Structure 1
Amino acid sequence: MQRKWFQYWFNSPYYHILYSQRNDEEAEFLIDNLSAYLKPSAHAKILDIACGRGRHAIYLNKKGYDVTGIDLSEQSIKYAQQFEQKHLRFFVHDMRKLLYINYFDLALNLFTSFGYFETEKDHVDALKSFRKAIKEDGTVVIDYFNTLKILRNLTHQEIKTVDGIEFQIKKFVSDGKIIKHINFEHKGKDYAFEERVKAFTLEDFERMFALSGLKLVETFGDYALNPFEENKSDRLILICKKT
C-alpha cells in the first residue's frame, strides 16, 4: 500500500527540526487546564492519540496518570519509548484501528492531529475507534485549529530558517483541505514535503460525531478553556461523551 504524505513527513527528522520551537509550556498549560476541568481520578487511564514524540503523554504521566501514547510515525515512537516506565507506554498504531476496548477514562487527540485522511469514512472510523477505546462514562477530547480563523488569516508564503535550514513554505486551500508545501535544501539535496489537513468546521465535527456514536458536550476556544467564538478563537477544543 502506498505511503501517505503524513507517513513520510511525520517520520522525517526535518519535521522535528521545522517545529522544534513548539512550546512545551503551552502544551502543559492545556493539560493542566483540561485536568482541572475534567478531574480524572488519581490513576486514570489516558490514551494520547497521535502522540508524536510524547510531550503531552510524558507530562500527563508526571501528573500521576497511567498513559498510553500511539502514533503512526515509527521514528517518533522510537524516540518516545526511551521515556517508558511502568505507567507510560508507546506504540506505533493507526488511529483508525482499535487498540483497546472500553479501557480508557480519557482519550486525547491534541494539537490538530486529525483531519489527515482522504475520506470522511476514514475520519469517522478514527472517531469510532476513539469512542470504543473509552469506558462507558469516558471522555474524548479533540483539540483542532479554528478553521474559519485560519482561512481568514492564511499566510500564503513564508520562509523559516531553523538550524541553518531555510524552509520555504507555501499555504493554500484546495478541495476542502488546507495544504502546506514545504521545500528546502540540505547538504546539497533538495527536499519537498507537504501537509494536508481538512478544513473541518464545528458543524463538520458534529456531523461526524453523530455518525460515530459521540455527542459533543462542551466546546472551548483556547488553551485557557475560554468559550469558543468562531470569529476570534485560535482553537476548537471539543469535549465528547459516548451517546
Structure 2
Amino acid sequence: MSKEHWDNSFSDKDYVYGEEPNEFIKEMSTRISEHTKVACFAEGEGRNAIYIAKQGHDVTAFDQSIVGLNKTKALAEKNGVFVETVERDLTKDKVIKEQFDAAILVFGHVPKQDQEFFIKNVMESVKPGGLVMFEVYSEAQIDYNTGGPGVMDRLYNPQDILRWISDYKCLHFYYGEAERHEGKRHSGKCHVVQVVVEIEDIPGN
C-alpha cells in the first residue's frame, strides 16, 4: 500500500493499533541481548519500538509514513525514551547491511512481488549472531476478518517464508491461530506466521 494510504491511515488522533506492543514481540524480545542496537521495520506508530526502547535498547524505527513516524516520536516522548526514526520504503530502498544487533517486524504487509526483497532487506540489516523476529498475517487470515489488509496479494505464504529464511538458523517458526487485540484494527482470533532466526552469516558474503 502507498505512502499516502498509510499517512491517511495513521492520521487519526488516537493510535489505530494501540500503544501496547505486539504480544509475540513482547514474549520473544527477551531473547535480544541487553543494550543493543535494534531496528523496528514497518513500525507504523511506534508501539513496538517504544517497548523495545524501554527495555534499554538503542532503537531505530523505519516506516514509509511520516505521519506514523511523527506519532512514534510523540509516543516515545510520552514514555520517556528516544527512538530514532527513518522514512524509508523498504520494498525499494536497501538498508545498510549488518548495522543492527537485532530486528523486529510486525504485520508489514506488502505486495507479493515485493515480499522477498522486503524480508531479505530486514534480514540483511542484522549482524551475524544477531536475531530477527517477526509476525505477519498468513494467507489464511483472509477468512478471519479480524485485521490485516483484506487482500490475498498482501498476505504471506508460510512456504515462501521458510524458503526466504533457509540460509539462517531458525529458532522459532509457527503457522497457525493467535489471539490479537491491538487498537481498533486488530481484534480477535487471527491466523499468523511467526519467525525468530539467528543470522549466522549473510548469504553472498
Q: Fold-level match, TM-score > 0.5?
A: yes
Partner amino acid, structure 2, of 1:123: Q
Q: Is the 8 A contact 2:39 2:100 kept in 1?
A: yes
Instruction: Encode CA deviations 1:87-129: one digit per residue, 9 max, x unaligned.
Output: 521110122323332121211111x113x1351xx22222222
* Aligned residue in 2 for 1:126: 118
Partner amino acid, structure 1, of 2:97: I
Describe the SS at the equivalent of 2:24: helix
Partner amino acid, structure 2, of 1:34: M
Match of 2:171 among 217, 230, 233: 217
Q: Displacement of 1:63 after TM fit? A: 1.2
Match of 1:198 among 127, 133, 154: 154
* Aligned residue in 2 for 1:17: 12
CA distance in 2, matches of 1:81, 1:68: 11
Q: Does 1:238 align with 2:195?
A: yes
The verdict on how the C-alpha distance between 1:76 and 1:151 changes in structure 2, with shifts beyond 3 A counting, is closer
CA distance in 1, matches of 2:71, 2:95: 20
The verdict on how the C-alpha distance between 1:152 and 1:76 changes in structure 2, with shifts beyond 3 A counting, is closer
* Aligned residue in 1 for 2:67: 75
Long gaps (5+) in structure 1: 156-170, 172-176, 180-195, 225-231
Identity of aligned residues (%): 19
How many residues are matched? 185
Match of 1:101 among 97, 101, 106: 97
CA RMSD in angstroms, aligned pairs only: 3.2
CA distance in 2, matches of 1:147, 1:19: 28
Describe the SS at the equivalent of 2:132: strand
* Aligned residue in 1 for 2:184: none
Match of 1:34 among 28, 32, 35: 28
Q: Is the 8 A contact 1:98 1:132 kept in 2?
A: no
Describe the SS at the equivalent of 1:125: helix
Instruction: Encode CA deviations 1:128-152: one digit per residue, 9 max, x unaligned.
Output: 221221011111112112432x234
Match of 2:48 among 25, 33, 56: 56
The verdict on how the C-alpha distance between 1:235 and 1:123 changes in structure 2, with shifts beyond 3 A counting, is closer
Long gaps (5+) in structure 2: 181-188
Question: Relative contact order: is structure 1 or structure 2 higher (C-alpha 8 Å, sep ≥ 6)?
Answer: 2
* Aligned residue in 1 for 2:4: 8
CA distance in 2, matches of 1:215, 1:18: 41
Describe how 1:155-174 pairs up with structure 2 within 5 A.
Answer: none
TM-score by length of 1: 0.63
TM-score by length of 2: 0.74
Describe the SS at the equivalent of 1:17: coil
CA distance in 1, matches of 2:38, 2:52: 8
Describe the SS at the equivalent of 1:69: strand
